């Protein structure tokens, strides 16, 4: 071994000793449970929601989020400053129930995610049993907070992206902001509100996407622009 080889060997050894050990990749169920439970501390965030409709320009809105452990307040900011913001307060569902629903619908796979809002993430892919990719989640490695979520159509095109663009975690949150009780009635995905009913069907919309809840053949059915897990949760809550 020449001096040169020895020097290279020593440098490589020193480099590998200095390198941080890789974080062990968590199991999919473990990571999903952590995500569904949400952070153990309160936080404040700004989220951008983008919707990609086929053949149209992407649309986006901004949401101010305040959260206590187990409860989230979302305030959709209108474009016109004088308009009233759309505020909703929701409780997190039991994480075991959420995991069971997602497990029944999707195959899960964890991989290394990038950095979102300056937080290191794990990436969690949710594929239909047919193999089609439906959702991808980016989860904060430390807190379990869902930092980013993308939803895909059957043809593989991106339908929707929700991403936290600013985050303060932990953050002091005033509990007075959570006085509004969670909305009564069936559960609705974030941003969707009841817009009326006709022909025995109840309509829900977020302004760009919509879905209906109604009876068909004696059974409650959900039709419209919802991913399978959201539609299943709507059905579960409508049956209660």
Partner 1 sequence: MNEDEDARLAKAAMKSLLVPAPESLKADLKRLARNLKPARSIWDGLGETLSGGAWAYGAGAAFAAAGIGIFILRAVPGRSLSSGVVERPAARLETAPQVLADLWADDSGEDNDEI
Q: Which residues bind partner 1 (CB under 8 A)?
A: 46, 48, 50-52, 57-62, 76-80, 83, 86, 116-118, 161, 163, 165-166, 184-185, 193-196, 205-208, 210
The three-point CA angle 47-114-154 to 5° equals 70
Supply the minimum distance, in Å, between the C-beta of residue 110 and partner 1. 20
Supply the minimum distance, in Å, between the C-beta of residue 215 and partner 1. 18
Nearer to partner 1, 3 or 118 (CB): 118
CA 6 to chain centre: 51
Supply the minimum distance, in Å, between the C-beta of residue 124 and partner 1. 17
Nearer to partner 1, 176 or 184 (CB): 184
Nearer to partner 1, 95 or 237 (CB): 237
Q: Are 152 and 158 in contact (CB under 8 A)?
A: yes
Supply the minimum distance, in Å, between the C-beta of residue 58 and partner 1. 4
**What helix, strand, coil percent values describe the chain, rounded to 5?**
20, 40, 35
For residue 137, give every residue at least 6 positions away whose Cβ sits within 8 Å of its Cβ, in sequence order, or none: 35, 123, 124, 126, 146, 148, 149
Nearer to partner 1, 178 or 194 (CB): 194
């Amino acid at each position: 071994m020449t001096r040169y080889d020895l020097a290279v060997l020593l440098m490589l050894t020193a480099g590998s000793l200095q390198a941080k050990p890789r974080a062990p990749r968590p199991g999919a169920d473990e990571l999903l449970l952590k995500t569904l439970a949400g952070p153990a501390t309160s936080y404040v965030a700004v989220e951008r929601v983008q919707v990609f409709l086929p053949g149209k320009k992407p649309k986006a809105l901004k949401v101010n989020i305040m959260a206590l452990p187990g409860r989230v307040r979302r305030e959709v900011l209108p474009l016109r400053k004088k308009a009233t913001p759309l505020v909703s307060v929701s409780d997190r569902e039991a994480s075991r129930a959420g995991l069971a629903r997602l497990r029944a619908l999707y195959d899960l796979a964890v991989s290394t995610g990038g950095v979102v809002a300056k937080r290191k993430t794990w990436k969690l892919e949710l594929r239909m049993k047919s193999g089609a990719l439906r959702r991808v989640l980016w989860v904060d490695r430390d807190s379990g907070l869902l930092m980013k979520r993308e939803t895909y159509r059957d043809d593989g095109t991106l339908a929707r992206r929700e991403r936290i663009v600013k985050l303060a975690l932990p953050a002091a949150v005033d509990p007075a902001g959570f006085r509004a009780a969670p909305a009564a009635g069936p559960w609705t995905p974030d941003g969707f509100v009841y817009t009326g009913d006709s022909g025995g069907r109840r309509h829900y919309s977020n302004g760009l996407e919509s879905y209906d809840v109604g009876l068909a053949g004696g059974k409650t059915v959900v039709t419209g622009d919802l991913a399978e897990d959201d539609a299943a949760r709507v059905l579960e809550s409508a049956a209660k």
